[in-house]
Structure 1
Amino acid sequence: MTDYRLWGLIAAAGVGQRMDSEGPKQYHRIAGRPVLGWSIDALLGMPDVTGVMVVRNADDRYFETVLPSGDSRCSDCVGGAQRQASVRAGLAALRHWGADADDRVLVHDAARPAVRRDDIRRLIEQVADDPDGGLLAAPVRDTLKRADRDRRVASTPSREGLWQAMTPQLFPLGRLESALAMVADDAVTDEAQAMERLGARPRLVAGDPGNIKYTYPQDAYWLAWALDRKWTGEGA
Structure 2
Amino acid sequence: MTIGSMTIGIVIVAAGRGERAGSLQDGPKQYRRIGDRPVIAHTLERFLTWRRSGPIVVVIHPDDEALFAAATAGIQGAAAVITTFGGETRQRSVYEGLRALSGTEATHVMIHDAARPFVDHGVLERVAQALDEGQDGVLPAIPVSDTLKRSGSDGLVHETVPRSGLYAAQTPQSFLLSEIRTAHEKAAALRREDFTDDASIAEWAGLPVTLVEGSVDNIKLTVKRDIAMADEKLSQSLSSAALPDVRTGNGYDVHQLEPGDGVTLCGVFIPHDQKLSGHSDADVALHALTDALLATCGAGDIGDHFPPSDMQWRGAPSKIFLDHAAKIVRERGGTIMNADISLIAEAPKIAPHRQAMRETLCEILGISLDRCSVKATTNEKIGFIGRREGIAAIATATVVYRGDAA
Partner in structure 2 of residue 59 of structure 1: 63
Q: Which one has the bigger strand percentage?
A: 2
The structure richer in helix per residue is 2
Q: Deviations over 1:64-94 (max 9, x none)?
A: 1123546243121101111121111111111
Contact kept, 8 Å, 1:229 with 1:235, in 2: the verdict is no
Question: Would you say 1:211 and 2:213 are equivalent positions?
Answer: no
Letter in 2 for 1:114: F
8 A Cα contact 1:68 1:74, kept in partner: no
Unaligned runs of 5+ in 2: 239-243, 245-336, 338-399
Q: Tell me if the contact between 1:104 and 1:128 (Cα under 8 Å) persists in the aligned partners.
A: no
Q: Spell out the pairing of 1:112-191 with structure 2 (5 A cutoff).
A: 112-184=116-188, 185-186=191-192, 187-191=194-198
Which shifted more, 214-223 or 123-132? 123-132
Contact 1:31 1:224 (C-alpha < 8 Å) held by counterparts: yes
Normalising by structure 2, we get a TM-score of 0.54
Work out the CA distance in 2 between the residues paired with 1:29 and 1:73: 23
What percentage of residue pairs aligned between the two structures are identical? 35
Q: Match of 1:52, SS?
A: strand
The verdict on how the C-alpha distance between 1:212 and 1:151 changes in structure 2, with shifts beyond 3 A counting, is farther
Aligned to 1:13: 15
The residue that corresponds to 1:49 in the other structure is 53
Q: TM-score, normalised by structure 1?
A: 0.90
Deviates most, 59-68 or 81-90: 59-68
**Bigger mean CA offset, 212-221 vs 145-154:** 145-154
Is 148-157 or 171-180 further displaced after alignment?
148-157
Identify unmatched segments of 5+ residues in structure 1. Answer: none
Q: What is the number of equivalent residue pairs in this alignment?
A: 233
The answer as to whether partners of 1:114 and 1:226 remain within 8 angstroms in 2 is: no
Contact preservation (8 Å) 2:137, 2:209:
yes
Measured against aligned partners, the alpha-carbon deviations of 1:36-83 in whole angstroms (never above 9, x if no partner) come to 111111111111112210000111141111235462431211011111
2:105 to 82, 99, 109: 99
Cα offsets for 1:128-184 (capped at 9, x unmatched): 443422011100011011122243322211111000000011111000101111222
Q: Highest relative contact order (Cα 8 Å, sep 6+), 1 or 2? A: 1
Taking structure 1 as reference, are residues 42 and 183 closer, same or farther at Cα in structure 2, changes over 3 Å only?
same
